[in-house]
């Protein structure tokens, strides 16, 4: 029995494509063949496959940290309370002949110094996925940010802290224009600049008076403290023969000098204004005490607030003026 072959029409999709098939299809049905290329311009054409690059070194706006810690007396304490005894007046003495009686001389007077202390803390969090997937070391970055912020906060407190749950800055100490012999202990002496909110015509002479107001034993190791704006004013002072009072440092890392004493720039010092205490001169190692419980401690806590990891950082530090004769201030006032 012979098999009957039924001729069927060839399906349109199986038909051999002609050279002008694209044009023919467009003419017949309006369809066009879409041509695609891999590019990184849009995500669905290959952009998703291109990894995003991130600089592993995170830049940050630099925060100025006060350098008071580097020139003050820093002590490590083992408890929250710290006391320091300071003698005032010295031990009186007297002269006597070989056979003269030796009457009893006076004794020293003690003053107890207790620097106010406070606790700096920070408590930032990051998700575990962020810590796992970030292109930089998030934990190290957070630790560095906390340390920089702590340095800035404590530096501001050493200059102007009010002593409530923080150090008491040396600018918060009582001030008076009287000399050491008649001024109450704990009160800093100020010298007037000669004009309200400005230097008088003889500004260089006022700076010399400020230096000489500090007694000789304290001038060994003394330094000027001011901010950059005040330093810019003083750098322009000249002597009568045209020489600058300010001597820039010729060695990298060494402070410039003014009247032979190093200048420490502390941005927490106030700008020159009416009645402002914008310049300090003194032996801060003898005059200002910083007491700290320990170095900054950071606790990594992945349990309390899952899925976040919390970094709890603390630092306990205090400070106050210990010897009010060792620091002098310049007040920008007429008197």
Answer yes or no: is 242 within a domain. yes
Per-10-residue mean pLDDT of the chain, 335 residues long, equals 59 58 56 60 64 57 74 86 79 87 85 89 88 80 83 92 95 95 92 93 92 95 96 90 85 86 94 96 96 82 89 90 96 93
Considering the domain boundaries, does residue 219 fall inside one? Answer: yes
Angle made by CA atoms 182, 183, 186, in degrees to the nearest 5: 150
Report pLDDT for 181: 86
Number of domains in the chain: 1
Query: pLDDT at position 129, please?
Result: 87
CATH number, domain with residue 202:
3.30.2400.10
pLDDT of residue 132: 85
Q: Which two tokens stand for residue 189?
A: 């002496």
Predicted pLDDT of residue 263: 95
Q: Do the strands 175-176 and 188-192 form a parallel or antiparallel pair, or are they unpaired? A: parallel
- C-beta neighbour count of 127 within 10 angstroms: 14
Query: What is the reported pTM?
Result: 0.77
Asked if 189 and 180 count as a contact pair (C-beta separation under 8 A), the reply is: yes
Residue 10 included in any domain: no
| pLDDT given for residue 14 in this prediction | 55
What range does the domain containing 187 cover?
68-88+107-331
* Strands of 188-192's sheet in order across: 175-176, 188-192, 327-331, 277-282, 223-226, 261-265, 257-258, 246-247
Does the residue 57 lie in any domain?
Answer: no
Alpha carbon distance 322, 262 (integer Å): 22
Domain assignment present for residue 54? The answer is no
């Amino acid at each position: 029995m012979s098999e009957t072959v039924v001729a069927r029409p060839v399906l349109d999709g199986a038909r051999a494509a002609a050279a002008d098939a694209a044009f023919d299809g467009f003419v017949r049905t309006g369809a066009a063949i879409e041509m695609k290329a891999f590019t990184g311009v849009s995500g669905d054409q290959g952009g998703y496959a291109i990894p995003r690059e991130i600089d592993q070194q995170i830049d940050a706006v630099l925060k100025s940290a006060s350098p008071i810690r580097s020139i003050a007396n820093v002590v490590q304490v083992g408890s929250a309370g710290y006391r320091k005894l300071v003698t005032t007046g010295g031990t009186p003495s007297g002269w006597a002949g070989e056979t003269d009686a030796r009457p009893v001389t006076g004794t020293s007077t003690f003053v107890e110094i207790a620097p106010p202390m406070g606790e700096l803390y920070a408590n930032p969090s990051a998700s575990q996925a962020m810590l796992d997937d970030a292109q930089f070391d998030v934990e190290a970055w957070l630790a560095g940010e906390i340390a920089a912020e702590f340095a800035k906060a404590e530096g501001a407190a050493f200059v102007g802290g009010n002593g409530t749950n923080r150090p008491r800055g040396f600018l918060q100490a009582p001030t008076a224009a009287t000399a050491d012999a008649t001024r109450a202990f704990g009160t800093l002496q100020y010298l007037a600049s000669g004009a309200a909110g400005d230097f008088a015509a003889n500004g260089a002479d006022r700076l010399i008076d400020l230096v000489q107001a500090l007694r000789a034993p304290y001038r060994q190791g003394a330094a000027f403290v001011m901010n950059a704006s005040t330093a810019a004013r003083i750098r322009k002072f000249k002597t009568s023969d045209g020489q600058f009072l300010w001597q820039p440092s010729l060695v990298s890392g060494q402070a410039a000098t003014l009247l032979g004493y190093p200048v420490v720039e502390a941005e927490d010092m106030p700008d020159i204004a009416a009645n402002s205490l914008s310049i300090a001169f003194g032996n801060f190692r003898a005059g200002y005490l910083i007491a700290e419980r320990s170095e900054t401690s950071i606790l990594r806590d992945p349990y309390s607030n899952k899925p976040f990891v919390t970094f709890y950082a603390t630092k306990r530090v205090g400070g106050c003026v210990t010897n009010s004769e060792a620091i002098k201030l310049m007040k920008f006032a007429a008197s």
